[in-house]
Amino acid sequence: MLQNLASYFQHLTVVELCDILLVLLIVFQLFRALRKSIAFNIFIGSIVIYILWLVVKKLQMPLMSEILDRLVSIGLIGLIVVFQPEVRKFLIALGRRSPVGKNGFVSRLFQSNSLNKYIVEEDVIEEITEALTFMQERKIGAILVIARSERFEFDTNTGKMINGRVSAKLLESIFTKESPLHDGAVLIDKDNLIAAAVVLPISDNTKLPSNIGLRHRSGVGATEHSDVLVVILSEESGKISVAKNGNLFQDMRMEDVKKEMYDAMVM
């Protein structure tokens, strides 16, 4: 097998070499774009399955070849479904720009941060996660309202306009107990922290748990009035809850909260 592999590389043409280099470049760029994302494990798993498929084909293992042939044949459709948000943003960006030029797709493909422009705002999610972890360890209460779509509408007159890029340090400084802005919610749209200390409408839903406080009820109320996701950090217990579509989900794991934010910012 090694002799066949060595023989293959000895007889490579220029076109075949360019083909290999382009594939390696695309894989490398995908790796850089997805390495801190929720989809990274899926990306690595897909590569492992494809390599295994090539090895099995080379070793002529008929049963495994049949199984992996079926898996690989539907793999592309499966990946399109799994990576639907990223594919959609990628195609939208591709259609809006000329293929060539300073900001075109071709030139951006060879930049170090190329595909980061076409995927979910993972950096924003990481900044929010870092802030939530920091505040959870210190039992600092917080409530974050995240826009889920272009239909995001909210009255910011009750709060203070910020219009700054979302960062962990900014969120931590807003919700620390010494801050004059720690009461109320922050409004986040994409990577922009619009306002802080915003008063949210309180839900009068009688089906909500009786032991929750005003912070949780106002979080649910916000989702009843606008297309938003609300992340609530309890000052008393340090537990995280998520409100969406008028429903409250309590005591959520951080990974599940990240998935909810991912869906809110992309879908």
Q: 135 and 255 in one domain?
A: yes
* Residue where a domain stops, chosen among 70, 92, 118: 118
The sheet carrying 240-244 orders its strands as 160-165, 192-198, 185-189, 142-147, 228-233, 240-244, 247-249
The residue from 118, 148, 164 where one domain ends is 118
Same-domain pairing of 126 and 80: no
The length of the chain in residues reads 267
Q: Is 148 found in the same domain as 55?
A: no
pLDDT digits (tens, 9 = 90+) for 104-163: 445 544 554 444 443 546 789 999 999 999 999 999 999 999 988 665 667 778 889 999
Nearest to 193 by CA among 146, 261, 226: 146
| Residue 15 and residue 84 in one domain | yes
| Domain coverage including residue 202 | 122-266
- 186 and 219 Cβ atoms separated by less than 8 Å: no
Q: Of 64, 98, 118, which residue is a domain's last?
A: 118
Indicate if 114 and 151 belong to the same structural domain: no
Residues 8 and 134 occupy one common structural domain: no
Same domain? 105 vs 11: yes
- The predicted-structure confidence for 256-266, as pLDDT tens digits, reads as follows 999 899 888 86
Q: Which CATH number is 245's domain given?
A: 3.40.1700.10
Q: Are residues 132 and 247 in the same domain?
A: yes
Question: DSSP string spanning 213-227?
Answer: -HHHHHHHHHHHHSS
The Cα 94–Cα 104 span in angstroms is 8
45, 83 Cβ separation under 8 angstroms: no
Structure-token pair, residue 249 = 């989900």
90 pLDDT tier (thresholds 50, 70, 90): low
Query: Are both 162 and 53 inside the same structural domain?
Result: no
How many domains does the chain fold into?
2
pTM over 0.75: no
Query: Are 96 and 180 members of one domain?
Result: no
Does 79 share its domain with 172?
no
For strands 160-165 and 192-198, give the pairing: antiparallel
Residue of 54 and 236 predicted with greater confidence: 236
Mean pLDDT of 40-66: 79
Section 23-45 average pLDDT: 70
Q: Work out the angle between the directed axes of helices 40-59 and 62-82 (0-180°, nearest 10).
A: 160
Judgement on whether residues 146 and 95 belong to the same structural domain of the protein? no
Q: Give the whole-angstrom CA distance, residue 78 versus residue 84.
A: 10
**Distance between CA atoms of 143 and 175, rounded to whole angstroms?**
9
Model confidence at 98, in pLDDT bands (50, 70, 90)? very low
Per-residue pLDDT at 257: 94
The pLDDT assigned to 75 comes to 67
From the CB of residue 230, how many other CB atoms can be counted at a distance below 10 Å?
Answer: 26
| Span 6-20, average pLDDT | 72
